[in-house]
């Protein structure tokens, strides 16, 4: 392919050189001399227009990504405002549901020590989440000074053409350099990413979610749902007053309860249904709840209540 290209371009280059040589001779026709001069002048003008001492592959990539930069500057930056509103609305909804629905049930069923513990822990965690999120969205991440200063810098930002201290990076959404930039988190608009408040906020959320996950793990181990937990507790106290023992008909033991929950029928299902993505259906049809044939503790069929 390269040989064919050279064969085609060789005669063309030879003809062009002959024309250029003829252009310098006096016996060359004036029309041909004028064409050669215009060709040389046009080539010089074209090179001068396209000349750029800062040009290179980076400049070409930046030019190619200009539409993406425009989209980020004019559209994506508004996503942060939407996300902040959603976080506030969702957090407020969870708090309202807790006070209106969960709190009356807790006041009727929990003992005083347990009630005090839940009251202290839930409100302490709520205060941490609200406080750290407020700090995260209102605390500026920090920007390098733009005037003359004695701070040691490591490079010059190609976007804002200002000295960059160590661990400073340019944020394309904020359109300025940020000190110790981690990433631009849309949940913290318009503050950008505060490397101090963000981990504290995430830790508070993880603490709440960790407690919720632990609570549901306990319910799964007992073969109960959140509603059944309160129903079984009342039924246990009622039968205990009569000298009888309450037994949950859906509790097959801790390990078998987890097998029912995860849909593990055989040993290979730990791989195909737990460790790998699986679309298998849960056990039962939702109407009758017969114990699986592979559990060690069997119970009679009970209709769903």
Residues recognised as catalytic: 185
Q: Which residue has the tokens 């996503």?
A: 79
Give CB contacts under 8 A, 24+ apart, made by 278-282: none
Q: How many CB atoms lie within 10 A of CB 178?
A: 22
Which has the closest alpha carbon to 235: 226, 224, 247, 223? 247
- Separation between Cα atoms, residue 252 and residue 291, nearest integer Å: 8
Cβ 204 vs Cβ 129: under 8 Å: yes
Cβ 183 vs Cβ 170: under 8 Å: no
Residue 181: phi and psi, rounded to 5, are -70, 135
Residue 129: phi and psi, rounded to 5, are -65, -50
Residue environment code for 161-172, b if the CB has 16+ CB neighbours within 10 A, otherwise e:
ebbbbeebebbb
Cβ 239 vs Cβ 232: under 8 Å: no
Angle at which helices 197-222 and 226-241 cross, to 10°: 50
- Dihedral, CA atoms, 68, 70, 74, 77, nearest 10 degrees? 50
Residue 156: phi and psi, rounded to 5, are -115, 130
Tell me which DSSP letter residue 161 carries. Answer: -
């Amino acid at each position: 392919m390269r040989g064919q290209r050279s064969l085609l371009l060789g005669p063309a280059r030879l003809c062009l050189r002959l024309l250029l040589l003829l252009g310098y001779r006096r016996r060359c026709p004036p029309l041909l001399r004028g064409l050669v001069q215009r060709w040389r002048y046009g080539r010089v003008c074209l090179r001068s227009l396209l000349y750029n001492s800062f040009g290179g592959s980076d400049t070409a990539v930046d030019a190619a990504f200009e539409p993406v930069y425009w989209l980020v500057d004019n559209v994506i930056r508004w996503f942060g405002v939407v996300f902040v509103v959603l976080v506030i609305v969702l957090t407020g909804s969870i708090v309202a549901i807790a006070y209106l629905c969960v709190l009356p049930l807790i006041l009727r069923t929990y003992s005083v020590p347990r009630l005090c513990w839940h009251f202290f822990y839930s409100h302490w965690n709520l205060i941490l989440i609200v406080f750290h999120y407020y700090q995260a969205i209102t605390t500026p991440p920090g920007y390098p000074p733009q005037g003359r200063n004695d701070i040691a810098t490591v490079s010059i930002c190609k976007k804002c053409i200002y000295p960059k201290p160590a661990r400073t990076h340019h944020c394309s959404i904020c359109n300025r350099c940020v000190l110790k930039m981690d990433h631009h988190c849309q949940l913290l608009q318009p503050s950008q990413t505060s490397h101090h408040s963000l981990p504290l906020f995430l830790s508070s959320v993880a603490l709440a979610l960790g407690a919720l996950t632990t609570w549901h793990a306990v319910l799964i181990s007992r073969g109960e749902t959140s509603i059944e937990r309160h129903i079984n507790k009342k039924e246990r106290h009622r039968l205990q007053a009569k000298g009888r023992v309450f037994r949950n008909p859906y509790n097959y033991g801790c390990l078998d309860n987890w097998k029912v929950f995860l849909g593990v029928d055989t040993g290979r299902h730990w791989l195909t249904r737990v460790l790998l993505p699986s679309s298998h259906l849960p056990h039962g049809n939702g109407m009758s709840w017969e114990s699986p044939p592979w559990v060690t503790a069997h119970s009679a069929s009970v209709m769903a209540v």
